[in-house]
Structure 1
Amino acid sequence: MVAYGTAALCYTLICFCLISGTECYGSGADNTLSVQPGGSVTIPCYYDSKYTQQRKYWFSDADKIKIFTNFTNETVSVIDHPAQSLFTVTMRNLTHGGSYFCVVENESLFETYINVQPAPPDVSVVSSNVSGDEGGNISVKCLYSSAYKNKHKQWCRYKDKRCYTSQNSSVEISDDERASFTVLMSGLMLEDSGWYFCSVDHLQAPVYLTVTAVASVTIHSNTETTNDEKMSLWLPVSAGLLMVIILVGVCTWKWRKRSAEDKKQIKYNAPDTATVPPEEPVIYSAINDENPNDISLLESKANTIYSTIEDLPGCEASEEPFSTRTFGEQKSV
């Protein structure tokens, strides 16, 4: 990533490929980077992937100091990124310039010249760190001074030295021919991430592009949305089914209770045959009234069995029982 102080900067890059391995940019041309006092800059140093295990360092031609990768202090950081086949050098609070070198030990190097000057930068960028989503677009605005309005403008990638000078299917460059040109990249892919630079004549301004994958996020979002929609539909349906079940249960309980009460009432109203007393046996007696003076009748008096005949409900009882009347007649003899 690139960071600047109060102003953007112009860049000088002189690349010497002493031994094959480090990718060269500019082919030895005089490229200058200008930084305002107190400013900061990050420089990408690419190398061939076969040198991933080699030691790398940042070398100052002025004080002959080597700063190896994965070192950081208040003024400089040198960090290796083997997955990207590069290491980056970030210099902060710059007060003086000079020649610096990206070095792969015993293999290759290239030189960078940094000029610290108070003059306004001839080439700079509005933002030196941009990002976009996969499949989306990004826009980079490159600024230049009036002295360079008629100079050749390009948008280049450090890693493969590919430069765009006019619009195509993925990159569009539009120059207002006064103070800026704009780079529009569309249909971004993950492999588009990396270091680029705005180029005006021999001047360069570095830009780091980050492309973020969004496919997994979109799928997750769609899944959550689908789940939310299913839940919003299922809740009222579940509530409705629960109400139906409750109503059916209540109706069934009431029906069973009513049936039990009806059966109980019918049983209560029906006559209980087991409690009706049996009819008492009726004993009949033979009464002979043809001859009241018959001695045999008198002799059988002791053996005569009397019975009481009760009137049944609804029958008249005005006359004396027949057996009682007969007995009186017999008594008078």
Structure 2
Amino acid sequence: MRGVTITGVFCLWMALSTGVHIELIPPHPQINQSVLLSVDQISGSIRSFAWFKGENTRSQNQILAYNSRTTPPESPGPMYSPRISCFPNASLKISELNIEDQGNYTLQVQQEAHVRGTVQLLLYAIVTKPVIRTTTITPIVNEEVHLTCDTMNSQKILWGRSGKIFPPGVIQSSDNRTITFPSIKPEDTGLYWCEAENPVSKKTSDLYTMTVYCVCGSTTSDLNAAEISGVIIGTLLGLALLAGGIFLLLYVKRHKLPVREEPRDMEEYLQVFEQMVEQEKLPKDQWADVVAPFLTREPQKTYCDQCEQEAKDYFTLRGKTRHFLV
């Protein structure tokens, strides 16, 4: 989603051969703040001057006129606003800036001859905190995946990957808001962030965790990504219900696993589990399905990240999770 981006190439000041200099103070004015169109290097005394909105000095474009010999010296024009005021040195101040204030401003000074200068005023707004979004919640290996940096008022967007080199082959959109993984790989799993910036602000998104899933075997080759995701989720839920029922029967029929207040070593936990299922003579090819729903945090993630064939191998799962705490 994109908002109004108040950005662009700007002119800080313009110097004419006549010696008129107009400078924006601050150089990057923001909405709802003030800006001074500061004038200096005008030689001699200023008899009168006028400010215009735009690059020409037609009367309908006049903001105000100033004549030191009249009382009051200021007279408003068709483009005048109470938020605008001027100073005897011809500088102009605009308060409570809004989007309509953007544009060119022309100063015409009356001395022995008319001298003129023009400056371009562009405004900026604070960038909103970026949020990384994707339409692919469970990316499958070799699937095309898009990540979008959702922010407003940014002029520049950068992408990064926490703790690792950014994957090669990632395609960036013309404005860099979206990156595309044409054929995502397991090694693309990681934490990603994006940073939005303009001349007055910079903000970084929260880390986005991308986990790439694999599906083993050839039976899913004709399925699309949504169908594969449904198979994975449905399989995991079914295994969780089946395992929960089996483990509950074991729990009631035999003994509870010991409960300790401090974190338990994963290897110790699995040893107790193995003793229980061996007592019940549960086939070893079912051990992984039984224990998986009772794993937490990193062990559970390790189980889910495995292919279907690996996930059914209890001893492979044991080797990958034995160093964790439960």
Give the TM-score normalised by the residue count of structure 2: 0.29
User: Rg larger in 1 or in 2?
Assistant: 1
TM-score (norm 1): 0.29
